[in-house]
Structure 1
């Protein structure tokens, strides 16, 4: 990567902790790991709509032991998808939200997550899905390596659906440390054949308990070869948990990043812009 510029872009009131982000038509979609809601932010008029994903009243700060831990978000055709992390038994819920009807359909990810753990020989202590993207016909689930094994895995899911007709394989990636603390996948987005990702470092080997924030990196993976292309430290203080593309040409990209400051008193989400000039063309 040649150079980058990280800057504060938006402050959105009403979101406690943003854990994933998407963008389309000058609108942002965000989920929070503390909430059962999908947040729909209209950039042009600075307004926020909130939709419950589980047919219950939208709750912005669920108890830690009860929350879905929604850490991943992706857009597929006319549907918005949110995914629980799977780091505990009650965190295996997903939701498919139709952007036109505003109807939410639950997805039971228990079987899929159990198969991922069994196939990769990961225990729950090492299982923590932090991002989900699609590439061609496949789903890619990014596991954050903040457990004992530092398992930064990308699970590739192929098949008709995510509940009972699928095949799974995975790739492991060796990500760098920040301030001598291992980083783990925290967000991802795809342009053509390249996965751009964020990874964060917390000074605690746990998929459940938060640790002291040590910073974040930005990187890229060639999805055809499943090879790490580069990583770059972009912060010593921010815990970036989501990334999406705002605009790009062949050699420059502008991303939006969201963060989780691990502060329950926080009542607004800060969205950042990351402007990147790349050494190689986007393929």
Structure 2
């Protein structure tokens, strides 16, 4: 593909293990997989604020207890935060209304159970790492980093509830070294799906492994045919992707990196991808 650029944009202090982000009105809304806060970074002021989502506000939650919010989606005036589903504690959906500040918590355990049955995914291999809403459907991106390497997209008609119909589309992603990459986020832009994927040397959705690299790619939003992939790092695990700005010739995205540590700092990157 044509030349692309990846650059470090800024560092946010006070937030660690970033797992997803949304850019809106010169602010970044960021989630962390080991926190019960929604973070808002005001870019011009370089200030970070925290929005408490659950009754008990916690950061750096131990792995066995964390809610593992891995997906954040802007739909209308609401942010939707989804747990990964990889343990029973990780089956929540939180919505935050940007206008009214209302917070609503919903249990997704039955929906996730139906998804596992539809896709023939075992309890310990479900790992939803990205989500988006397009063509009147929710798409949930299953990260196939378990033993069976089952990457795929769950297509959910209508709302995210236990009565929704589910279709699962397996997706084969490129390898980095000897490991198939697996989804870490996705976004819908101009009728296309742009996604991130990482190769991690582990067969567990729970335990971390050696990072072998990350890539960005694009697929058709109707056929899910992959149109391109490009490796963007040999060592980093990018887990969040949001639209920053676009022109006639290129699209700029912002990315966040999960450093898999307790250090409360997060680097934000910008990647410029040519249109073609």
- Pairwise TM-score range, normalised by the shorter structure: over 0.9
1:224, CA displacement in angstroms?
Answer: 1.7
1:71 aligns to 2:70 (yes or no): yes
Residue 81 of structure 2: aligned partner: 82
Deviation by residue 1:181-206 (Cα, 9 ceiling, x = unmatched): 22100011111211000001111111
Residue 20 of structure 1: aligned partner: 20
Count of residue pairs the alignment pairs up: 276
1:203 aligns to 2:201 (yes or no): yes
Cα distance between partner residues in 1 of 2:177 and 2:233: 11
| Residues 114, 162 of structure 2: 8 Å contact kept | no
Cα distance between partner residues in 1 of 2:222 and 2:105: 32
1:164, CA displacement in angstroms?
Answer: 3.4
Cα distance between partner residues in 1 of 2:261 and 2:36: 18
| Residues 107, 163 of structure 1: 8 Å contact kept | no
1:76, CA displacement in angstroms?
Answer: 0.6
Residue 253 of structure 1: aligned partner: 251
Structure 2 unaligned spans of 5+: none
Matches within 5 A, 1:82-161: 82-159=81-158, 161=159
Deviation by residue 1:199-252 (Cα, 9 ceiling, x = unmatched): 011111110000011110100110122211111111001100010110113431
Matches within 5 A, 1:43-58: 43-56=43-56, 58=57
DSSP 3-state at the match of 1:61: coil
| Residues 158, 167 of structure 1: 8 Å contact kept | yes
1:231 aligns to 2:247 (yes or no): no
Q: TM-score w.r.t. structure 1 length? A: 0.95
| Residues 198, 243 of structure 1: 8 Å contact kept | yes
| Residues 81, 95 of structure 2: 8 Å contact kept | yes
Match of 2:267 among 246, 270, 273: 270
1:10, CA displacement in angstroms?
Answer: 1.4
Q: TM-score w.r.t. structure 2 length? A: 0.97
Matches within 5 A, 1:208-219: 208-219=206-217
Cα distance between partner residues in 2 of 1:101 and 1:135: 24
Cα distance between partner residues in 2 of 1:110 and 1:219: 30
